[in-house]
Amino acid sequence: MKNRPTFASFKNKALQNQEVKEEYERLAPIFEIKKQLIKARLEKGLTQEEIAQKMGTSKSNISRLESLNNTYTPNLMTLINYANALNTKLHINLEI
């Protein structure tokens, strides 16, 4: 039986392609924000439905916002509203 490649091995091979690597690096901040949103919501013990209610939006909008399968880029006000709904603060910083 042949071993299936792991995601890590696939990723390492894909990142050897310079164009793929550049796009991966360009999108990395978006996915990092999405991971932080999900982590914060789960730490607060809220479902997507509950956060949607607090934000006055639909669960499908929260699902799209948090989805790691797309490159939807939330606007700043959406991020602020999400943080407020979690009773947390949004911090943005630039690294030089």
The 3-class SS string of 19-65 reads HHHHHHHHHHHHHHHHHHHHHHHHHCCCCHHHHHHHHCCCHHHHHHH
Question: How far is the C-alpha of 82 from the C-alpha of 37, rounded, in Å?
Answer: 8
The domains of the chain are located at 14-85
Q: What is the pTM of this model?
A: 0.80
Measured CA to CA in angstroms, residue 80 lies from 4, 70, 83 at distances of 42, 21, 5
- Which residue is listed with tokens 């091995």? 9
- Render pLDDT for 2-55 as a digit per residue (tens, 0 to 9): 778 888 888 889 889 999 999 889 989 999 999 999 999 999 999 999 999 999
Q: Which CATH number fits domain 14-85: 1.10.1740, 3.30.2000, 2.40.128, 1.10.260?
A: 1.10.260
